Amino acid sequence: MVNININGVNLSVEEGTTLLEAAQFLGFPIPTLCHMEGLSPYGACRLCVVEIGEGPKARLVTSCTSRVEEGLRIRTASSRVMKARKMILELLLASCPQSKVIQDLASKFEVRRQRFRQEHEDCILCGLCVRMCEEQMMAKAIGFRGRGEKRSIGTPFDIRSEQCRLCGGCMYVCPACQLRCTYTEPDKAICGGCANIYPPCVEKEQFDDMMCYMDPCVACEIIKKIEIK
Amino acid sequence: MRRLNTIDDFIELRRRILSEKEIQYDHPTLVICAGTGGQASGSNDIIRIIKRYILEHGLQEKIGFRITGCQGFCEMDPFILVQPGRQLYPQLKMEDVPRVIEAALGGYVEEELIYKDPKEQKKFFTQNDIPFFQKQTRTILGNNEKIDPIRILDYIENGGYAALQQVFQKLEPNWIISEVLKSGLRGRGGAGFPTGKKWELAGAVGKKGEPKYVVCNADEGDPGAYMDRSLLEGNPHAIIEGMLIAGIAIGATQGYIYVRSEYPLAIKHSLIAIRQAQDLGLLGNNIFGSGIDFNIDIVRGAGAFVCGEETALIKSVEGFMGEPRQRPPYPIEKGIGGHPTCINNVETLANIPVIIERGADEYAKVGVPGNTGTKIFSLVGKIKNTGLVEVPLGIKISDVVYDIGGGSVGEAKIKAIQTGGPSGGCIPASMFDLPIDYDSLSKAGSIMGSGGLIVMDENTCMVDVAKYFMNFLKDESCGKCFTCRKGTQRMWEILDDITAGRGTLEQLDLLEELAHVVKDTTMCGLGQSASNPVLSTLRYFREEYIEHIVNKRCPAGVCKDLVGAPCQTTCPLGTEAWRYVAHIARGEYEEAYRVIRDANPFPSVCARVCNHPCEEKCRAGTSGGQPVAIRALKRFITDRIDPSIYKPIRNVIANDNSARIAIVGAGPAGLTCAHYLSLNGYKATIFDSEKKPGGMMFTAIPGYRLPREVIEKEIESLIDDNITIKSNHILGKDITIDGLFQDGYKAVFLALGAHKSKRLEIEGEDVEGVYPSIQFLHSFNVSGRKLGKGMVGVIGGGNSAVDAARVALRQEDVANVTVFYRRSRSEMPAFEEEIEAAIQEGVNLETLITPLRVLATHGRLTGLECQRNRLGEPDASGRRRPVPIPGSEFIVPLDTLVVAISEGSDIDSIAVASSMKIDTDSRNSTVKVNPNTLCTNRSGVFAGGDLVTGPNTIVDAIAAGKRAAVMIDRYIRGVELKQPPKITLPMVFVQPAEVPEDMEQSSRIEVPRAMVQWRRRGFAEVEMSLTINEATREACRCLRCDLDFTRPKEQERKQVEIRG
């Protein structure tokens, strides 16, 4: 057992426990976007940062990927943590304003303004879908490609993967794009959001920018038109 | 070669090689640097010529020839170093090579080709004496010149593998680790973790039989850094030896060199070296029968910057995407394939053989405690001696920049240095006293990094630098952490806005806030240091950011969208220099005159005496060449065109009430103001204390630079019915401000100028024969009195000192003239061409001299006691401070002494101004105004020119007059005075002239001067006009920055049509 202290509360947990698990055990809320039970921790969204260490050595670490150490003192909501979280949410909001998950989080943390140039991206590259595909669906159909600005998720060379079983797990876990492809049966939709896209998914001829990996789409059964000359 | 089975075989081999060496070296050897840098500069051609020459002349037995890796002096590539004399022949052309070979054979020095100081042309006969090498300690880099990298015997001959021999003789891993620990060596990759500590940890972890790895990190991705490449290219065996020792120390059996594919030569040389070592039995299984296995493989990276981070590197070696992961666990515990892995930088490993061979204590003597040993830096940017330098840690930045680097490459001063590549920060020139070590640099907000030093001068925009690095980082971030990926993109976006003039002060705060969050919340070293370029430039150069945002101005003249054409933006008058230069190139001289006259009411005066800031910022000059001779071209036009072709536009309808304005001072500022007011229909009256209008143009500038009739003609052309000049009116005596208002003047513009020299403040200054330069020049220019007698001395280094010296030289009673200046000639603020002309005419220049005391008998000057100086450390301005040499005092006999150290405004006029309730700055003796509106504290009273700025240039005075005219007009009309800053971009398209082929790449024209023997006799103008051919040639050199912003009419129309 390892003794730690979270926000002033002493706690003894098993070795190998992550800081996130320990904090959640005590009921301290830590927001996450790229964490999901059953998937390996990845540390992409940085929302779950907590402050550890003292004085000049104090620093922020992602609680999902850091493990407990003997005598560690953790602060889950210090001013430094909150400042960072708010900025991260502002950045997320600027890039992906249509995601309900992000909107909710922003509202919860009282992020009331967004000072960056507005973008409308479909993906925050949290990697949940990649891990879902690999670790739960044992498919490894999709993965990360490129780096920096050009990083994206997809199949190698954009060729439909033979490993993909169209399970839809990737969409199920996506915090940014779960609105996709439920148009034909809005009542069964996770959020029904895709009906709000204009033009709606079904009327759109080019699906390339819709970021749907499945072909045909599981939900709406529309077959992507492949232009053959 | 036979494989060596025991350590004794190896010792025997080394002994044999070393003993043969002595016999071999009785003939000269040519050494040529052929690293990637050398090859790019053409060393392959030189190599070919040398080989052919040797074969054709049958010299194989008489001369040696060695092709080596990079030797560091990249600026001088391709060069040949002749051993054993160590003469260095730099920047060789192919046709010069035979002369070098003959000189080497004959045992003499080819003086014409030998290395010379670029400025003073002093010859250096051996490499060691060259300042670039003198202050270096080339422990590691120094071997490159001795070794042909593809010959293992060369390496052994120069002491290579001696450390390995010691290791095998002892075979005690703990001894190796303790030696490395004791040496204090810190990782050269950038973070500076103690190498011995790392090895100790690596040695202790791991189960028995579990594989361990040593990795050499040669993923060098910083822009402008290339020391790792040069080591791998030039001395790969040193790296192999270091890795082998590391492997033995920690018990590893496999090594990897992780090198990027962009380094083909490094890969080639490493592969050859590994094979040679394997053949000799230095690598492989059971080395020397000791039971130790160690092998090295090369892994080629695809060139991702992030793969230099150790966890990403491991992923990449394993074959995955290079993406860092959270530490702990550290690679020492879980590295490649989950096994312990010790990752060291190339340079760290190159240091290992040195430590083992010389002993840790000896090694630790170099450098400073806590930061021992030497470090290789790649010195690049705006610096004279680009190249690789190896210096002991703890050396001052100024030593590296000014002594080794030779200072800035052009006229512009060095402003900052960027260390540590894209993750590093900028350190301003004022902090160049800082020692270069891991801790000092990180305290200053930068990092050591792998050792890139990018020197920046005043023509480098710090916002642009931050933007450049952010652009690099946003592409090179792996993208895993959201804050690093998006944060770098957003920071770049804001920086881009600022450089394009769209930025706001709120965005600047956001930028800073974001930078701190990115630093805080990212996982790996790349993200945590990604904000450094922004944070450090904000810390030291915030005013540059503000200047971009508030005044929409890029002081360095870099940011295109703000600067447009730098010549136009830099000109205080906004003259479209690019435009008239383009017209000259096309032969449209009248058009050119109109462009000049449109902006400047004194074109002929400025064509002669302007300090031409346009030329200093000219992109033809700041991009490494010589600026276009803009002033000479202006002179060409003004000499050729009749001014009457220009008809100014009169705007009389707007102001038919024709208010009366009083202007005090008929210098360039006052006359300009009157002219522009008159164009707007106002009646201006100019009051001046002198007999003739012209101000300092008349009283201070000598006739040989600016002929009297030129000033008279120019002033005459400006005076019209709206302007009255009242001479011999002195403010405070004949007129007062209150009186002027009472007389019905609606506004007053004070442009009295600065007419007082500063005093020397030394003993005995107030004797007969000592004159302030202003008085000296004034009495000659105005009343023709010749104050110079016998031996004349002038103290000072500015333009007025040179003017005074040249005027004195032209007076009959003067025997000789000497200028005394306290720094050296290159620090003199006077125009270089003026100094040169003065020396041509026979003025003596004595530099590095400080006056101590004026000697006099019976109240009459007899001489000057002086002290000699030497140049010390550079001050904040980057100029070296003069340091007095004790005991060097000497006496110069003099009959006349002119003091020209600095000018202040006339104390009397300041006193008068303040007596009339005008706020003054008593310390600088200037009048206080709002710089934007030129308003003084009294309503309706404006001031400008030297009275406000202190002694300044003519062009600035004209600009002040122009601005005052605009402001007075606004004041009279009751419009808000403030003028928001606006960006001036080129608007008019001028078809580029066709450049004849023979004119391409010609160099800057030398302005023709009258013959020296004619000049000394009189005051005829010294500088001559250009011929048509010369002017056209010079105008064709213009890079036409304006074409980025303008396009021909047809194209514009087409665009409109497309849009429509």
pLDDT in tens, B1009-1039: 888 777 777 778 888 889 998 899 899 999 9
Flag whether pLDDT at A178 surpasses 90. no
Strand ranges in B148-240 using DSSP code E only, listed in sequence order: 213-218
Parallel, antiparallel, or unpaired: how do β-strands B660-664 and B452-457 relate? unpaired
Of A45, A60, A149, the CB nearest to B482: A45
Residue ranges of B 629-668 with Cβ closer than 8 A to chain A: none
Mapping DSSP onto H, E and C, the string for B258-296 reads EEECCCHHHHHHHHHHHHHHHHHCCCEEEECCCCEEEEE
Q: And the tokens for B383? A: 């610096």
Structure confidence at residue A185 (pLDDT)? 44
Flag whether pLDDT at A212 surpasses 70. no
> Does B483 lie at the interface with A, CB-CB under 8 angstroms?
yes
> Does B521 lie at the interface with A, CB-CB under 8 angstroms?
yes
B279-291 average pLDDT score: 92
The answer to whether the CB of B906 falls within 8 A of the CB of B754 is yes
Dihedral sign of CA atoms B346, B348, B353, B354 in order: positive
This prediction has a pTM of 0.86
**B714-772 pLDDT, tens digit each:** 999 888 888 999 988 888 888 888 899 999 899 999 998 877 767 777 887 888 888 98
| Secondary structure (3-state) at B34 | coil
> Does B522 lie at the interface with A, CB-CB under 8 angstroms?
yes
Q: Inspect the interface and report whether the beta carbons of B487 and A91 lie closer than 8 Å.
A: yes
d(CA B105, CA B88): 15
Answer yes or no: CATH 3.10.20.600 is held by domain B371-552: yes
Answer yes or no: CATH 1.10.1060 is held by domain B564-647+985-1044: yes
Flag whether pLDDT at B100 surpasses 70. yes
Structure confidence at residue A123 (pLDDT)? 85
φ, ψ dihedrals at B367, nearest 5°: 90, -160
Superfamily of domain B26-83+87-125: Glutaredoxin (3.40.30.10)
Q: What does each C-alpha distance from B798 to B382, B825, B876 come to in angstroms?
A: 26, 11, 20
**B625-646 pLDDT, tens digit each:** 889 999 999 999 999 888 888 8
Residues in chain A closer than 8 A to B320 (CB atoms): none
Identify residue B628 by its one-letter amino acid code. V
- Chain A nearest CA to B504, separation (Å): 12
CATH number for the A2-108 domain, one of 3.40.50.2300, 1.10.3720.10, 3.40.50.300, 3.10.20.740?
3.10.20.740
Structure confidence at residue A120 (pLDDT)? 80
Identify residue B193 by its one-letter amino acid code. F
A interface test, pick of B482, B493, B504 with most A CB neighbours within 10 Å: B482
The label of the residue with tokens 């759109």 reads A204
Work out the angle at residue B683's Cα, subtended by the Cα atoms of residues B679 and B687, and round it to the nearest 5 degrees: 115
Structure confidence at residue B467 (pLDDT)? 95
CATH number for the domain running over B660-752+914-973: 3.50.50.60
Structure confidence at residue A184 (pLDDT)? 41
Q: Inspect the interface and report whether the beta carbons of A91 and B522 lie closer than 8 Å.
A: no
d(CA B822, CA B271): 58
Q: Tell me the pLDDT band of A180, cut-offs 50, 70 and 90.
A: very low
| Secondary structure (3-state) at B663 | strand
B641-665 average pLDDT score: 79
Q: Tell me the pLDDT band of B952, cut-offs 50, 70 and 90.
A: confident
Q: What is the CB neighbour count within 10 angstroms for residue A72?
A: 17
The per-residue b/e assignment along B321-359, b for 16 or more CB within 10 angstroms, e otherwise, is: bbbbbbbeebbbbbbbeebbbbbbbbbbbbbbbbbbbbe
φ, ψ dihedrals at B346, nearest 5°: -55, -50
| Secondary structure (3-state) at B570 | helix
Q: What is the DSSP letter of B401?
A: I
Q: Tell me the pLDDT band of B139, cut-offs 50, 70 and 90.
A: very high
Structure confidence at residue A196 (pLDDT)? 43
Q: What is the DSSP letter of B508?
A: H
A78-106 average pLDDT score: 91
Flag whether pLDDT at A16 surpasses 60. yes
Structure confidence at residue B1000 (pLDDT)? 61
Q: And the tokens for B401? A: 């920049």
d(CA B700, CA B705): 11
**B384-439 pLDDT, tens digit each:** 999 999 999 999 999 999 889 988 887 788 999 999 888 888 999 989 989 999 99
**Higher pLDDT, residue B611 or A228:** B611
CATH number for the B152-365 domain, one of 3.40.50.11540, 3.40.140.10, 3.40.50.720, 3.40.50.2300?
3.40.50.11540
Answer yes or no: CATH 3.40.50.300 is held by domain B756-904: no
Identify residue B531 by its one-letter amino acid code. S
Q: Inspect the interface and report whether the beta carbons of B482 and A44 lie closer than 8 Å.
A: yes
The answer to whether the CB of B754 falls within 8 A of the CB of B858 is no
Parallel, antiparallel, or unpaired: how do β-strands B284-287 and B292-301 relate? antiparallel
Q: What is the CB neighbour count within 10 angstroms for residue B949?
A: 19
Q: Inspect the interface and report whether the beta carbons of A91 and B306 lie closer than 8 Å.
A: no
d(CA B648, CA B321): 69
**For B480, which residue in chain A has the nearest alpha carbon?**
A44
CATH number for the domain running over A128-210: 3.30.70
- Chain A nearest CA to B443, separation (Å): 13
* Residues in Cβ contact with B412 at an 8 Å cutoff, skipping those fewer than 6 apart: B382, B457, B458, B459, B616, B622
The label of the residue with tokens 């001779």 reads B629
Q: Inspect the interface and report whether the beta carbons of B520 and A151 lie closer than 8 Å.
A: no
- Chain A nearest CA to B455, separation (Å): 27
| DSSP labels, chain A | -EEEEETTEEEEE-TT-BHHHHHHHHT-----SS--TTS-----S-TTEEEES-GGG-EEEETTTPBP-TT-EEESS-HHHHHHHHHHHHHHHHH-TT-HHHHHHHHHTT-----SPP---S-----HHHHIIIIIS-----EEES-GGG-EEE-GGGPPPTT-----HHHHH-SSSTTTT-TTSGGGSSS-GGGGSSS-GGG-S--GGGT---SS-TTT-PPPPP---
Q: Inspect the interface and report whether the beta carbons of A151 and B478 lie closer than 8 Å.
A: yes
| DSSP labels, B341-384 | EEEEEHHHHHHHHHHHHH-HHHHHTSEETTEESEEEEEEEESBS
Q: And the tokens for A100? A: 């309900």
Residue B397 CA neighbour count, 13 Å, CB half:
30
**Higher pLDDT, residue B924 or B556:** B556
Residues in chain B closer than 8 A to A45 (CB atoms): 482
Q: Tell me the pLDDT band of A225, cut-offs 50, 70 and 90.
A: very low
Flag whether pLDDT at A219 surpasses 80. no
% chain B with pLDDT above 90 = 51
Q: Inspect the interface and report whether the beta carbons of A147 and B478 lie closer than 8 Å.
A: yes
**For B514, which residue in chain A has the nearest alpha carbon?**
A87
Nearest to residue B83, comparing CAs of B148, B18, B164?
B148
d(CA A126, CA A31): 14
Structure confidence at residue B768 (pLDDT)? 86
Of B476, B480, B487, the CB nearest to A44: B480
Residues in chain A closer than 8 A to B306 (CB atoms): 147
Q: Inspect the interface and report whether the beta carbons of A147 and B487 lie closer than 8 Å.
A: no
d(CA B679, CA B839): 44
Nearest to residue B405, comparing CAs of B425, B381, B441?
B381
d(CA B235, CA B141): 9
Q: Tell me the pLDDT band of A190, cut-offs 50, 70 and 90.
A: very low
Delimit the domains of chain A by residue range: 2-108, 128-210
- Chain B nearest CA to A116, separation (Å): 7
**B300-344 pLDDT, tens digit each:** 998 899 999 999 999 999 999 899 998 888 999 999 999 999 999
Of B326, B476, B488, the CB nearest to A43: B326
Q: Inspect the interface and report whether the beta carbons of B476 and A148 lie closer than 8 Å.
A: yes
| Secondary structure (3-state) at B744 | coil
Domains A2-108 and A128-210 share a fold: no
d(CA B503, CA B763): 55
Residue ranges of A 141-160 with Cβ closer than 8 A to chain B: 144, 146-151
Q: Tell me the pLDDT band of A193, cut-offs 50, 70 and 90.
A: very low
Work out the angle at residue B658's Cα, subtended by the Cα atoms of residues B652 and B662, and round it to the nearest 5 degrees: 120
Between helix B589-599 and helix B630-640 the angle, nearest 10°, is: 110
Flag whether pLDDT at B833 surpasses 60. yes
The answer to whether the CB of B263 falls within 8 A of the CB of B232 is yes
Q: Give CA B324 to chain center in angstroms.
A: 37
Q: Inspect the interface and report whether the beta carbons of A62 and B304 lie closer than 8 Å.
A: no
Nearest to residue A74, comparing CAs of A49, A45, A101, A39?
A49
Nearest to residue B189, comparing CAs of B221, B145, B236, B213?
B221
**B573-625 pLDDT, tens digit each:** 999 999 999 999 999 999 999 999 999 999 999 999 898 999 988 988 887 78
B246-263 average pLDDT score: 94
> Does A91 lie at the interface with B, CB-CB under 8 angstroms?
yes
Residue B422 CA neighbour count, 13 Å, CB half:
24
Parallel, antiparallel, or unpaired: how do β-strands A73-75 and A49-52 relate? antiparallel
Q: Give CA B24 to chain center in angstroms.
A: 45
Nearest to residue B897, comparing CAs of B832, B851, B847?
B851
**B444-487 pLDDT, tens digit each:** 888 888 888 999 998 899 999 999 999 999 999 999 999 999 99
d(CA B771, CA B776): 6
**B487-512 pLDDT, tens digit each:** 999 999 999 999 999 999 999 999 99
The label of the residue with tokens 């690019």 reads B578
B662-674 average pLDDT score: 93
B interface test, pick of A75, A91, A142 with most B CB neighbours within 10 Å: A91
Flag whether pLDDT at B976 surpasses 90. no
> Does A111 lie at the interface with B, CB-CB under 8 angstroms?
no
Q: And the tokens for B390? A: 């190896």
> Does A65 lie at the interface with B, CB-CB under 8 angstroms?
yes
φ, ψ dihedrals at B919, nearest 5°: -70, 135
Structure confidence at residue B993 (pLDDT)? 85
Q: And the tokens for B164? A: 């390995």
Q: What is the CB neighbour count within 10 angstroms for residue B761?
A: 7
Q: What is the mean pLDDT of chain B?
A: 89
Structure confidence at residue B536 (pLDDT)? 92
